[in-house]
Structure 1
């Protein structure tokens, strides 16, 4: 999903492609591999994403997007715009979904671990298109 301000030119689109926002700045992250993953680096055409502000927290990312300083890619079903009326999330076609794995100790049966597994399983089914 691409997070954009609610007033952005792409807001309201049913779906977009990487080309639709290729020249727009994306937030940056301090860790290189994390940054490359969330900025789709390198891009299929070899160009880097234009640099937006460096963000350290999820709240920083949301504020940068809401303030119009950058856009941000985010997981589908992540709830990034659900509680903020100044943001909208748009599905991005052509970006391969990633696999999420939950690992626990063998035989772990604690209440919190079980609840987390169930919550993650339910969220993964809700986020499919």
Structure 2
């Protein structure tokens, strides 16, 4: 296996860890998928949101109840591009908490481990938006 294949697989595993964590409603696992200083930006409809990743972890914790949305949730990792010790990945989500999202992740490999450094997202506009 080449280093580029290994790196690509490592990035995919990091994104899959993120997906598993949010589906499980596990804020600690979400936190572990990200670098400690990670930040997120994005749009919920027309509203621009920006916050440290800890705020997202709190939102995951608040949604750790019945989680009925996970029954119809689906996702695709649309792309992964690796450049040395950094990478970008695009994740398309359908039905995340009842909404569709596109997430753009920047990742960094440190000590052999890929972790998400930032998340930029867009929620697909609903009928009223």
TM-score normalised to structure 1 length: 0.22
**Structure ranking higher on relative contact order (CA contacts 8 Å, 6+ apart):** 1
Q: Which has the higher helix share?
A: 2
- Based on CA coordinates, which of the two structures has the bigger radius of gyration? 1
TM-score normalised to structure 2 length: 0.22
